[in-house]
A and B are shown apart, each in its own frame.
Chain A
Amino acid sequence: MMDDRAVSEAIGFILILGLVLTGIGLVTLYGYPVLAKEQSSTDMKNMERAMIVIQNDMKSLCYKNVPYKESTLQVSGGTLEVIDADDYGSSMNISYNTGSDTGYLVYPLGALTYRSDRSNEVITLENGAVITRQDGQAGSAMLAEPRWFYDEPTKTFVIYIMNVIADDRMAKSGMATVRMSLEKASTRPHEPEPPGGPVTVTVTYTADTKNDHSTAWKNYLTGPTVGMERKGGAENTYEISGVSKLVIKEYNIKILGI
């Protein structure tokens, strides 16, 4: 038989209670912030995915002659906002110069923007590209690219402009159904004079003051698929020379509601 003389039920209880309280304290102090952060990053990941789904819907509208699309998504931990082209400061300015013929075209862009409540990440769908950036920081990165391309054998440069328009400025969190329709589609093949003669095409990205994505566009436009080069001396201006045919496809996508 063991000797039970020094064993106290009260001390045992206090020890166990102390352990439990320490455990609860640690979880509250350290565990909860980690959980909240995890939640916010999950929200961001879901939203990045949702934005790419919307981008795919836009692609269907533009490339596959589908007149109307809608998709339901869960906007959690932030707000999804639709900004009409007139209210959004961003635009693509395209100019071409053949020596005898010059043209300057301005395409204002609308946007779909998601702003997180918990972190300062902002995801934007702008001109067919899904772009992420940190609020207050200069940089930005493209999560999904648009489909601009330069075809080397035919020397054709194809530019897609996907403009978002909306009657009202809309914002939503929670369950949202993004309904959109193709309002206008136009192809503008520009055959320079003399035919087949080399054209220099210049693209300038003008950023919205509150939503600057110039880094993402710089990386995309100077990247291998598009292959433009930075024009010396000018900020956010890129050029490509030796183009014999410039095609600008403009689509107006109307967001009917979210």
Chain B
Amino acid sequence: MARLNEEGQWIVLMGLLVAVALFFLAVIVNQSALVGQTTAEGVLEFSKNDIRDLREAVFDYIDAYEKDAAASEAIPEDIVAISLERKNAVVSFSVDGPQDILGHEMRPVTIHYNNGVTVYDETTYH
């Protein structure tokens, strides 16, 4: 065994390092599948657009109410019923009489939204 050329040993060493690195990468990839799913679910479950749609419907109702109060009387009931039927969300909102906010006539609006996962409460002026 005398005087073998040992200069190529680093190749074997690098091979070992690459193997260890690959092992850790595999562990991370394995985890990422689960994490990705959880995150995607979280994003999908969050009812951002449902809440936006509800706010829009409420504000539209206020505009309609100011134009023709008698004709838009049944709208709140419809909003609540449709939210429950289509979006599985318990919704309630109330609109008070106009107030003077910095020179603008505005109505205080409270909106409550709950679909079992996300609860949203808002008090705003429209």
Contacts and interface: CB of A to CB of B under 8 A. Distances in A.
Given A187-B85, A189-B84, A154 B116 contact: no
Q: Which 7 pairs from chain A and chain B are nearest by CB?
A: A149-B116, A147-B116, A151-B90, A151-B114, A156-B90, A154-B92, A63-B88
A49 interface: yes
Interface in A162-221: 187, 189
A225 interface: yes
Q: Which interface residue of B34, B84, B88 has the most chain A CB atoms within 10 A?
A: B88
B112 interface: yes
Interface string B47-61: 000000000000000
Interface string A229-258: 000000000000000000101000000000
B41 interface: yes
Chain A CB count within 10 A is highest, among B84, B86, B92, B112, for B84
Interface in A57-97: 62-63, 65
Interface of A: 49, 53, 56, 62-63, 65, 147-149, 151, 153-154, 156, 158, 187, 189, 225, 247, 249
A148 B88 contact: no
B121 to A, nearest CB: 8
A10 B47 CA distance: 77
Given A151-B114, A154-B92, A249-B88, 5 more contacts: A56-B41, A63-B88, A149-B116, A158-B90, A225-B116
B117 interface: yes
A154 to B, nearest CB: 5
Interface in B33-53: 34, 37, 41
Nearest to B88: A63
Nearest to B33: A49
B90 A147 contact: no
8 contacts: A63-B88, A147-B88, A148-B116, A149-B90, A149-B116, A154-B92, A156-B90, A247-B84
A148 B114 CA distance: 11
Interface string B108-121: 00001011110001
Contacts of B37: 53
A153 B110 CA distance: 12
Contacts of B84: 187, 189, 247
Contacts of B34: 49
A147 B112 contact: no
Nearest to B85: A187
A154 B90 contact: yes
B116 to A, nearest CB: 4
Contacts of B85: 187
A65 B86 CA distance: 8
Nearest to B38: A52
Contact of A153 (B86, B92, B115, B116): B92
A53 B38 CA distance: 11
Contacts of A158: 88, 90, 116
Contacts of A63: 88
Contacts of A249: 88
Contacts of B115: 147
